[in-house]
Structure 1
Amino acid sequence: MLNLAIYLLLAGSAWSLTTGSSCIDGLVPVKVSADPIKFDLPPPNSQSDLTAFLTRLTSETSNVTSAIKGRAVHLEATYNIWSMLCIPAGFPQNGSGIVEFAIHGINFDHSYWNFGGPGSPYNYVDAALEAGHAVFIYDRLGVGKSSKPDGIQEVQLATEIEVAASLVDILKCSNEGCTGGAGRDTFISEIELKNATFIGVGHSFGSLQLSGLASKYGNLFDASILTGFSSYSGGQKASLVAFGLTIASQQNPKRFGSLSSSYLATEGIYNDQMNFFRYPSFNFSALQLALDTKGTLTIGELLTQSTSPALNYTKPVFIVTGDKVFIFCGGDCYQALNGSGNLIDSTNTLFPATSDFSTYIPSETGHAVNVHYSAPGTYREIQAWISKRFGDRTSHSV
């Protein structure tokens, strides 16, 4: 069997950071067993067809989703998922350190987590490595260099939850512990990461996946950090309209020309600003970079954005959401809801079994937390939160 690090090295590339940390990236075949929804909906045959569908979907009395929604169907598939594993200098050889498992949101790819590259103030991977943590990032199914299957029937929340769960299984695998499960017949970790503390870190749709993982699998992660997220849905129809969604292959033929019309993209730079950035709390070069590197989304993802309480999840939860988020707060996250002090605090209803629920709301910050001037301070808050709960896991490094 090939260990995961060697496989990634063969499939992709390896490189070192100035801090002495090292990263390896490549495509990883991931087996999934999922139950996505069968929708009675063909891919749009034109932009006008898509626009008409989105108009119906966002109408005040819309029943589109229930009208086209069928039953869950079982899916067995293997997808190639582009992945990167970064290990800091001095990480415990026995794998007893901290691994941050990061899931990006819609309109971005994996580069949301290392935005701007090494040394950038927006680079979350750098912040985690400096704290002595290993970091795993990847292109979600349907995005970037990962597989791009049917964008209505396959690339849905349920399927992506299983991709994430399988990747965790692969990372936790070891010589002694590969007893089955998705990916374990092929990959083992170079360091026995089964001993590590796994912390899920999500953004937006990635946070929605973390919530779904907690709901389905309980304590798969030792802690969950959900950024750009709340349980409030009052602003989502307006933000969906503000996206200016287009068929991706028509919006940018050079980047997305080979994709099915079930893959969508936001229209332009100011659509991205409205939904992801808070003016003037960002550098326009960051907005331009986000535009140039934007990821796609699928119709299947639009139709399956739902949450349910994680009744068996008891581990710590940290919600980190900017105060001016449009998508999940309607532009004001300090609105009160159901007796809670604000919309972020009210998200505790999704995690009724945890006794450790806390929030942080960076000021003058929009939806994409990582691309604002407030990002370095936000990263310090996140790493301090982790340290308070799990301490220094690098003391046994070699």
Structure 2
Amino acid sequence: MIVQLIFLTALASSTGVIVTPTEGRNNKAIPDPQAECRSFYADVYAETNSNIDLKSVIGGPAENQQALTEPIISYFAAGSTLPSQIFAAPTLEVKETYQLWFEHCRPKSGLVKGVYQTHHGLVGNAGYWNVQGEIQLAVKIGCIDIDYVTGDGNYTTYSFAENAAANGWGVGRSAHPVGTNTVQMPFEIQQSISIASALREGTLGDIGKLTSIIGIGHSYGSALLTGVSALSPSTFDAIVLTGFSNNVTEGPLGLFSFQSTIASVAYPERFAGHPNDYVITPSQTNDQIEFFHYPNYTQEALDSFTSGKGEFPLGQQYSVEFPFTLNRENYTHPVLVITGEKDGVFCSADCYITSLDPPATQLDTTKVMFPSVNNFQTVVLNDTAHGINSHKTAKEAYKRIFEFVDGLSMGVSE
């Protein structure tokens, strides 16, 4: 019997859960012989009283690119007080329902054992979990379908999962609220909790009840999952943090190298009409610096990343550190941290350099965030930068993820 998991990529919110499907269709770009995939919209309710009044510190949407760039420079300047001003700002209550776009895939055969609920990072979207292109890309995630593809193109299933992947709030086909004060990490943490609750209750469309949920995040999405583990320790049965460590680089290879640019200015053909507080990396060179390690990727992978990358709101960029202020003592479930050796955002481009005793890496600094977790594992992917899924080593990453999940004791979904 093949034990399988469902893969769900989504952003979620709040303690109250109202998830109402509004549209369904099957529009997967490349049909997957191993899974049945479809996309749909769902209205997700969430509430938080922890959003930051960011507008009171940096103002509303910038008048132009110069006005947007200046506070970013100020934030990273030596001796800057802007970060402390932001976290000392008044908090806001946000209670609202927003429409999210989901892509869901269910295995065609085998016993579904649970779901992977995935959360992409900044500049990402649901497509991050559905890499298309040459077989060298190595991963055929297919939304809910996550197979490890061997060199000869055969499938070796480690954890064949159902997957519901969502464009993050404020990204792609999902709702685009006010990008400064509304779309922030605290609210998105609550959204994640809401989506997971809907999955367990069987109220997210017709997906059915799922007794086991593994959270998988990348970068900002990983930070989001650490926030969920603090505020709702029982939401996930385990979490996998990719492109992550306890070292958020605020140097030249960190968020500053995004060179956040007004999305409608950088790519007017894609983002015309977006408010000026929705931003994006402005060039393929920026994408390479931040996400890729040459030559461990194909040109097709880089081109695909640049053409398909997503916009993100400034509220996300300025609230990314919120989860690091939270206490996770009550979280006891397994944790896997898997990050590229050359990750610039979380390892300053060398995860092996650390003040910890050998053989520890920078990934092991994350353990302090989970003091009550016994099953804590780390994996460094050699010759790999921040955008793991676009590298040739992606297949090794998912092999390790599936082996980690297969080692857990999980119940069977209804």
TM-score by length of 1: 0.88
Please tell me the residue identity of whatever aligns with 2:117: F
- Which residue does 1:54 correspond to in 2? 72
1:233 is aligned to 2:248? yes
Question: How much has 1:237 moved relative to structure 2?
Answer: 5.5
- Which residue does 2:315 correspond to in 1? 300
1:45 is aligned to 2:63? yes
Question: How much has 1:121 moved relative to structure 2?
Answer: 2.4
Instruction: Find the aligned partners of 1:326 and 1:118 in 2 and give their Cα distance.
Output: 26
Instruction: Find the aligned partners of 2:27 and 2:167 in 1 and give their Cα distance.
Output: 17
1:152 is aligned to 2:161? no
- Which residue does 1:30 correspond to in 2? 44
Instruction: Find the aligned partners of 2:92 and 2:231 in 1 and give their Cα distance.
Output: 17
For structure 2, which runs of at least 5 residues remain unmatched after alignment? 1-17, 149-156
**Aligned partners of 1:325 and 1:331 also within 8 Å:** yes
1:171-182 superposed matches below 5 A:
171-174=199-202
Question: How much has 1:339 moved relative to structure 2?
Answer: 4.8
Distance 1:330 1:67, change over 3 A: same
3-state SS, counterpart of residue 44 of structure 1 = coil
1:74-113 superposed matches below 5 A:
74-92=93-111, 97-113=113-129
Please tell me the residue identity of whatever aligns with 2:208: I
Instruction: Find the aligned partners of 1:215 and 1:30 in 2 and give their Cα distance.
Output: 21
1:329 is aligned to 2:342? no
Distance 1:135 1:117, change over 3 A: farther
- Which residue does 1:203 correspond to in 2? 218
Quote the RMSD (CA, aligned, Å).
Answer: 2.4
- Which residue does 2:304 correspond to in 1? 289
% same residue:
27
Aligned counterpart in structure 2 of residue 363 of structure 1, from 372, 382, 397: 382
Q: Deviations over 1:122-177 (max 9, x none)?
A: 33344359433211211011111000111110111011111111111221114xxx
- Which residue does 1:167 correspond to in 2? 195
Distance 1:372 1:223, change over 3 A: same
TM-score by length of 2: 0.84
**Aligned partners of 1:105 and 1:204 also within 8 Å:** yes
**Aligned partners of 1:236 and 1:328 also within 8 Å:** no
Aligned counterpart in structure 2 of residue 123 of structure 1, from 140, 148, 156: 140
Aligned counterpart in structure 1 of residue 85 of structure 2, from 50, 59, 67: 67
3-state SS, counterpart of residue 139 of structure 2 = coil
Shifted more, 296-305 versus 213-222: the winner is 296-305
Instruction: Find the aligned partners of 1:258 and 1:366 in 2 and give their Cα distance.
Output: 33
- Which residue does 2:227 correspond to in 1? 212
Question: How much has 1:244 moved relative to structure 2?
Answer: 2.0
Distance 1:380 1:136, change over 3 A: same
For structure 1, which runs of at least 5 residues remain unmatched after alignment? 175-183
- Which residue does 1:181 correspond to in 2? none
Question: How much has 1:236 moved relative to structure 2?
Answer: 4.8
3-state SS, counterpart of residue 328 of structure 1 = helix
Q: Deviations over 1:205-249 (max 9, x none)?
A: 000110000011012100100000001124555422321221111
Question: How much has 1:370 moved relative to structure 2?
Answer: 0.7
Instruction: Find the aligned partners of 1:229 and 1:65 in 2 and give their Cα distance.
Output: 21
Question: How much has 1:338 moved relative to structure 2?
Answer: 4.9
- Which residue does 2:12 correspond to in 1? none
Instruction: Find the aligned partners of 2:92 and 2:98 in 1 and give their Cα distance.
Output: 18
Please tell me the residue identity of whatever aligns with 1:332: D
- Which residue does 1:180 correspond to in 2? none
Q: Deviations over 1:281-326 (max 9, x none)?
A: 1111111111001111221111111213411110000000011100
Question: How much has 1:52 moved relative to structure 2?
Answer: 1.3
- Which residue does 1:390 correspond to in 2? 409
**Aligned partners of 2:133 and 2:300 also within 8 Å:** no
Q: How many residues align?
A: 375
**Aligned partners of 2:333 and 2:373 also within 8 Å:** yes
Instruction: Find the aligned partners of 1:372 and 1:384 in 2 and give their Cα distance.
Output: 20
Distance 1:284 1:309, change over 3 A: farther
Looking at secondary structure, tell me which structure has more strand per residue: 2
**Aligned partners of 2:141 and 2:147 also within 8 Å:** yes
Question: How much has 1:265 moved relative to structure 2?
Answer: 0.7
Question: How much has 1:91 moved relative to structure 2?
Answer: 4.8
3-state SS, counterpart of residue 386 of structure 1 = helix
- Which residue does 2:281 correspond to in 1? 266
Please tell me the residue identity of whatever aligns with 1:167: I
**Aligned partners of 2:250 and 2:256 also within 8 Å:** no
Question: How much has 1:65 moved relative to structure 2?
Answer: 3.0
**Aligned partners of 2:239 and 2:334 also within 8 Å:** yes
Q: Deviations over 1:38-74 (max 9, x none)?
A: 1212211111111211111110211113335522111
**Aligned partners of 1:229 and 1:319 also within 8 Å:** yes
Please tell me the residue identity of whatever aligns with 2:179: G
Please tell me the residue identity of whatever aligns with 2:39: D
Shifted more, 321-330 versus 114-123: the winner is 114-123
Please tell me the residue identity of whatever aligns with 2:310: G
**Aligned partners of 2:199 and 2:208 also within 8 Å:** no
**Aligned partners of 1:28 and 1:82 also within 8 Å:** yes
